[in-house]
Structure 1
Amino acid sequence: MRIRIVDAFTDRPFAGNPAGVLLLDSFPDDHWLQKVAAELNLSETAFAHPLPPGGDADWALRWFTPVAEVDMCGHATLATAHVLHTTGRATGTVRFAARCGILSATAAADGSVTMDFPTSSLTPVPAPDGLAKALGADVVSVHDTAAHIGDLLVELADEEAVRSLAPDLPALAGLSDRGVIATAAAEPARGYDFVSRCFFPALGIDEDPVTGSAHTALAPFWSERLGRDELTGLQGGARTGLVRTALRGARTLLTGNAVTVVEGDLLA
């Protein structure tokens, strides 16, 4: 079967966030899916198969990190939609049935893909003991995110504080259900509105380069502060990517580009 690695939230190879994509006839057992994800050793590998016509969704979609299945993943959904459209398996809008509900992805003429995801709720919480020390930065505010994400969204003082993070990853691993999103407003005239970096050591991902699901929390967080529903976020440390967000109440639209960098045969 064909296996692909797609760089998501970028329009050039070797940037953004790489995801594995396998299009299947049906889902094999979970053990095999997890073994494939571990073999690729990317932050997420997406597995999808077509569904019978006439239902609420066109494809079933699951995502695995090297060590666990996750409820929601933006960049691997973008990568899957990119593969479906570039291989002629889909046109227009594709609906996915996933653990977090029905998601859709719509391809534009310029090659970008807009995904429709549930907006994460945000609850202000006290900073957990040891958070500032684990991050190595002063904390401005902390918010807990809703189900399907389970992250701590941590606001830092400025863009430089986010860019210069070198966290104690084992210490971060025990502070949230999934991971930590560190964010700050962008410096003026950067061409983007906010910056972020995401750390998921508990899921076998020290740092995720560009996390679509995190932007379902970042979008409402920064829309409230900046007074605009449509924003652009820059995420990443060594690798970076851009996510365009549009807050639509209970839904958040995430737009980005993708490029296939590897295609081959899975023999196992």
Structure 2
Amino acid sequence: MNKIILAKNRKVEFPKRIKLVEPDTLNNYIYDLEFEPGLITEPGTNIDADLVNLLQKNSFIDVKCNTVSETEINSNLESELDGITEFKVFQGMKIILVLETASSFNKPIQLKFKDVEDETTEIPLKIYNNGSLENVSNLPVGIYQMIYINGSFILISDTSSGDGSISEILYDQDVAFQPQDQMGTAETGIYIPDKYNFINIVLYQGTNKRGNMFSRELLENNEQRFFNLLPFEYDDFTVSVNTKNNYLVLQSYYGLTAITHLKVEGIK
């Protein structure tokens, strides 16, 4: 189990007191020491709890995840991190996550730290996409760097594709789909090249938007299954996605005509 320690300064009643004991008589004498260092030409660095904690906060904390669990609304990447309950997740906390089990549940991913006392800390995982934060729902096996900012861990780099993360906007235009009766399916004609491991899809309904990132493998291996876009607050606007021969397909129950803009990003 990896460990992070909340350093604390020692607190005593008499910080300068010593006791001298004569070895022959065992008589003891108590003194308070006063230091007289003379002229101080270099005060040096004060080694205390604040310094130790600062050093830990300025370092990457490596954790390993080999367990992925699922709830009704989240996928949890579970890692053991002794001491996180007391130290607490902090602004600017940097994590190197070694992911040994791929997560592709099509649900927002969050990091779940398990402490030695079986207490857990759960933090959502996000990714920046053209200036906006969006959920991450699929991660292949790999090594990921992330930073904690304002309530979320934000993915900043990965080695899952072997050469870092490269993205390309494949489509970013206003759209108008034909009216439909009940469940409708639209083959968009948006081609997804094989070189991309992830597909980031964002739909706009006026000023509202919903989006999610999907692994290419997840969509390609489930031809008859469509995967919902998130977030959940627009329950009356349900849209699902898949691919067919490398082309993006949308499916919705009365919802396709509500889509006003579509953005698709390929991520290598």
State TM-score, norm by structure 1. Answer: 0.30
Higher strand proportion: 2
Pair member with larger Rg: 2
